[in-house]
């Protein structure tokens, strides 16, 4: 069975600094997708960034980037120039192709200190 592990229940970062959130996953599939979702206090799930497993290049979205290590089954999220609005729960998620659901990690709560 596929599993997603986020080993950091909580993290904190100073405003304008950089923070990295860790995620590892276990799968026997070769074709899959990885995601980071943000859940602020409103509880709306917001897509932060996505990565196709067949792409070697790490995905980047403005201040958010990932370090995708396929062989190590690692998918960390780096947030640069952290802002107060980045404070939220962050969930790492995985899915295979087709009409399949997401498998989520337990989440990391990120606090941003002014």
Partner 1 sequence: GAVVSQHPSRVICKSGTSVKIECRSLDFQATTMFWYRQFPKQSLMLMATSNEGSKATYEQGVEKDKFLINHASLTLSTLTVTSAHPEDSSFYICSARDPQRGDADTQYFGPGTRLTVL
Do 56 and 114 form a contact (C-beta atoms < 8 A)? Answer: no
Closest Cα partner for 27 from 48, 5, 47? Answer: 5
Is residue 57 part of the contact set for partner 1 (CB under 8 A)? no
- Does residue 30 interact with partner 1 by CB under 8 A? no
Q: Applying CB under 8 A, which of residues 28, 57, 101, 114 lies at the interface with partner 1?
A: 101
- Asked whether 2 and 27 are in contact (CB, 8 A), the reply is yes
Residue 86 backbone phi and psi in degrees, to 5: -80, -10
Give, rounded to a whole angstrom, the gap between the first and last alpha carbons of the chain.
41
Pick the binder of partner 1 from 19, 21, 23, 35 (CB under 8 A). 35
Judged by CB under 8 A, which stretch of 11-19, 22-30, 41-49, 61-69 contacts partner 1? 41-49
Q: Which of 28, 30, 42, 62 binds partner 1 (CB under 8 A)?
A: 42
The binding site for partner 1 (CB under 8 A) comprises 33, 35, 37, 42-45, 47, 50, 52, 91, 95, 97, 99, 101-107
């Amino acid at each position: 069975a596929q599993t997603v592990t986020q080993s950091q229940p909580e993290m904190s970062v100073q405003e304008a600094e950089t923070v990295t959130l860790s995620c590892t996953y276990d799968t026997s599939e070769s074709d899959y997708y990885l995601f980071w979702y943000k859940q602020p206090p409103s509880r709306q799930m917001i897509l932060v960034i996505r990565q196709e497993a067949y792409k070697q290049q790490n995905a980047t979205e403005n201040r958010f980037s990932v370090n995708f290590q396929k062989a190590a089954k690692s998918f960390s999220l780096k947030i640069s120039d952290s802002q107060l609005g980045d404070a939220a729960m962050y969930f790492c998620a995985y899915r295979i192709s087709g009409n399949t659901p997401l498998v989520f990690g337990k989440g990391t709560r990120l606090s941003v200190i002014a």
